[in-house]
Chains A and B, each alone.
Chain A
């Protein structure tokens, strides 16, 4: 669509201020209705699901006794399983204190085996691989390392420099206060105490759990326990399905209503302006140009309505303290509204394009 058509469509919209304002208001009304009902529900749903997710709806935790015989080579086997977003193995905890305070508060330190350090806020490259520790803000506070710098002394006699602050994601909250020593060059023989696997979706928790279980290869399976969030995942699915179906039904009803109203309004407009379309046809406008003009005019008004409606509903939801449904929902609603308006405009546009000049221009 070229600039000339957009200019002409905009001029045409300006030349019919009442119809244009009514069209924009209908779109604004629809966006407001959806955002303040379904959007609010979706926002609440996302908040509920977020709360459920924060306790680990997608996590699988394998705990192995030191004599269970699970070693870090399990990570290589897990890497071949589909549907895993993140996986890491942890050694058994070793107590540590601030190296400068031998009688300071003890915190548990674990060696960390994974290639996916980004979720923890740990830089992938290290000047001294395997020799540096990362502590969470809580651990730093307990250790007395307010500047995120210093050293720790482990009860096994080893000592490490703490060089960075650790971001502890919700699914690792159980390790707080957390101090991890990443081991990028693990030999594959290091004993694993805890293995954490995050599935890509809650629905994949059960099959991924089974697959992980099959590749653990423990020497003594009685010393291994697997905790999954399958029940939570099922609850999450139920909530999502029920709220989702309610939202979808309401959105479809509102879109249908608005689409119908836009179609009626445009049809009325075309009937009122049939002489205008007849003149355009007589002077050389092709049918496709007439259709394009009317669709472009509708698109311009719809975009204005969507923008105003989204801005107004966002302000209202913010003022009322309700959760926002998220950019994906708002984007999808905008696109769906635009598509509905265009579909609604298509039939009146085709009718307009078929006006016969002689019937409209001849004066009886």
Chain B
């Protein structure tokens, strides 16, 4: 399953992680995620799918083993360097969209540009393009609390795609969506994978898993 000889954007190598000492959620787990492919992480609740996603997203440190980005180990990197990589190389779609309810839709989409110190005007133009592309037909100055769940998840997707990330991690991105929006989100993730990114999706939805290039069951 791991195919270690392939060119991976992201790779977990013998990763062990647990929240409680002595009972690991992941035990010497390995897998590679090639560029240009979309991988589904499936399995029952509590098997560590989201934990694995956060490990791959450099938000958690494995207790043992290594996460490699472009073939390079990430363990020696400082917290600041890992944060910079998250802003530069990764895109994230969280389970409940995780938008800032106090800021506008547009502010939410361009949020990561601030962490990358990108030009604000260019980020706004790109954000408006993405909002249009994903059919978010709400005024960009509206607050997320005033939009539907489906639109919120599409806004989160726009935020994740703003920097055209090489790795896109999505944690149950279609969990609360209607079938039409689910298809739209899955299609966008697949298109992004086709453009050369490694896309990893945690999902419980068979329809979403089937749309992926491969499935890894935990």
Contact = CB atoms under 8 A, between A and B. Distances in A.
B87 A279 contact: no
B59 A282 contact: yes
B50 interface: yes
Given A4-B114, A11-B107, A285 B95 contact: no
Interface string A275-314: 1100111111111110000000000000000000000000
Nearest to B88: A284
Given A16-B102, A362-B50, A363-B96, A282 B80 contact: no
Nearest to A354: B79
A245 interface: no
A287 B115 CA distance: 11
B83 A284 contact: yes
Contacts of B95: 361-363
B80 A287 contact: yes
Contacts of B96: 363
A76 interface: no
Interface string B58-80: 01100000000000000000011
A16 B112 CA distance: 20
Contact of B98 (A11, A275, A284, A289): A275
24 contacts: A4-B114, A15-B102, A15-B103, A16-B102, A276-B100, A280-B111, A280-B115, A282-B57, A283-B87, A283-B111, A284-B84, A284-B90, A285-B83, A286-B83, A286-B84, A286-B115, A287-B79, A287-B83, A356-B59, A357-B54, A357-B59, A358-B60, A361-B94, A362-B50
A280 to B, nearest CB: 8
Contacts of B57: 282
A356 B84 CA distance: 16
A281 B107 CA distance: 16
B54 A279 contact: no
A11 B111 CA distance: 12
Identify whether the interface residues of A are mostly helix, strand, loop, or mixed. Answer: helix
Interface string A1-25: 0001001100100011000000000
Contacts of B30: none
B92 interface: yes
Interface string B98-109: 101011000100
Given A4-B117, A280-B115, A281-B59, 4 more contacts: A279-B100, A284-B88, A361-B95, A362-B95
Q: Shortest 4 CB-CB distances between A and B: which pairs?
A: A284-B87, A15-B102, A284-B115, A284-B86
Nearest to B96: A363
Contact of A282 (B84, B86, B88, B103): B86
B204 to A, nearest CB: 13
A362 B92 CA distance: 13
Contacts of B115: 280, 283-286, 289
Contacts of A16: 102
Interface string A99-126: 0000000000000000000000000000
B14 to A, nearest CB: 21
A361 B98 contact: yes
A7 B123 CA distance: 15
A275 B144 CA distance: 15
A279 B50 CA distance: 15
Contact of A283 (B60, B86, B102): B86
A284 B159 CA distance: 12
B116 interface: yes
